[in-house]
Structure 1
Amino acid sequence: MIDSLQSVIAQTGPQLKLRWLTPEPRTPRPLRGEDPERAGQSLIGSLNCIHPNRLQVIGLPEQVYLSALGSTAYKETVDKLFAERPAAVVFTDGIEPEADFRARAESTQTPLLGSPFGDQELINHLRYFLTHALAERKTIHGVFIEVLGMGVLLIGDPAVGKSELALDLITRGHRIVADDAPRFARIAPEVIEGTCPETLRDFLEVRGLGILNIRAMFGEGAILRVKTLNLIIDLQPLGPPQLDCIDRLAGSLSAMNILGVAVPRITMPVAPGRNLAILVEAAVRHQILRIRGYDAGVDFIDRQARAISMDRPDPPAPRA
């Protein structure tokens, strides 16, 4: 699990050529601060003493700025930097810290790191890595599949037919991401990304057939490693009273909260004789139109209103 400075360096160090400028800490150094009030602070960024980052990066612009400070201002800036107890200070562009800076880091037990990469290039790489590695995650029972370019999560009670429907969609050219336990992560304020646990990758369980290897049966093009979640389809065996409660114009569109993001959800009745694969494709196409700003239900209501207004007789002329 990526939760310490040492684990980040172990995974990204070879690619970014990161090296320890001070001895590597013997105990794991947490990436997130222990102060609850700073739980939302930025993990990495250029030197900032007002809104301090957990990983403070000093590149050529910051080095020029520090060098131009007078002795008093320099001391105050460095004092402020180390008083915030960053997880580490990273020097980029091959910069070597001054002796007094190194001594101050060692006295406060703050690790120093160095890299020949430019500051913005290193920040961009590490920010992308940390965003995915530390994202809030949740596992949901269902089948996650890509349909017409959209990530669709099929949910419902056990034995309702999720895997059979997924298999039908795969034979129609769509791609599966994960069966049974897709793992979702919030990688941006409104973006949920789904992946498959390594042990379950490529496999689909279909009752009566057992475990199927989709990659071996349908080829590489039937598998997708990661996809953004766009739509949830809830398969439900509904009876006549429940079907009568569904709005016949707007359908069963609602929302499901996943990791703080409202994801569109459609409740799809399951009944003998219904071609669910075609209905899922239609639901995805309908949702794509909604995203583009078109709603067939609203269009139908407007058309009926125009027809009624055209058939309405003209009001009588006012008397002279």
Structure 2
Amino acid sequence: MMFILALLPVLVILSLMLGLRWGASRAGAAGYLTALTVAIAAFGAGPQLLAVAHGKALLLTIDVLFIIWMAFLLFRVADEAGAIKTIGRALPHLTTDKGMQALLIGWVFASFLQGVGGFGVPVAVIAPIMGGLGFAPLAAVVIPSVGHSWAVTFGSLGSSFNAMMAATGLPAGVLGLPSALFLGAAGIGVGLMVAHAAAGWRAVRRLFVPALSIGVAMALGQYIAVRAGLWNIGAFIGSLVGMAVGFPLARRFRGEMDDNGKLDLRELGIAISGYAALIAITLGIQLIPGVRNTLGQVRFSL
């Protein structure tokens, strides 16, 4: 009975959002009121406990918001510099095959954007690109919406995973690897779904091997990153590995056109240089004990 009561706020939010199509803010407010009522009526929470709980929730919100703001700032700087447009223009030149375009842009590139941005960025950036490539409007929206879903937990510089650790009280060493395994398996399924959304079951059968290869590569990349303690860029690393595997495969599925255009590797290299700097900084913080210990001394607790 207590388990059901504890789960009730989550059920209320899901019911309102999925059943009644409420927005996240309204459903979240209803879930909060439900949790407050259950805490007082069923679990006997007093004023002191409620004050501490609200204080910890505020600190958690600030912690997660800081990650979100920094991730979005990185994306906006890269976008204003033209990096996102450059990468988006480069990918279609690899192949004219609709299925492979969907895999590279709507799955791999969407995961990349989720890794460094998130919060609607993958769909906002990729849907117009896919529409310009001739995809139907519905497919242009559905493909990136599905394609980036597996990268949410370790995306946005790990904001969702950070929130999960704070909410459960469990460290990254306990939650990280199981999450990476489940999400990696889900990512492979997502790739097949993207292929189906692009061109039906025929595309799934035809592109099964490249989709499986890219999916396994991204899953392994993310798993290795999480195992190394780099969970905040896990989805980002996984998507980069997916690009490294997907680009050569795309050249084998060029489509019917003989001339797909040429990639400007220098321009592409400049476009991804900011993200290379992100990897270098993250590795430096995680792997250099002096830097990690110094930065780790700054903390707020309640």
Q: Which TM bucket (shorter chain)?
A: under 0.3
Higher relative contact order (CA 8 A, sep 6+): 2
TM score, norm. by length of structure 2: 0.26
Please identify which structure carries the higher strand content.
Answer: 1
Task: Give 1 or 2: higher helix fraction.
Answer: 2
User: How high is the TM-score relative to the length of structure 1?
Assistant: 0.25
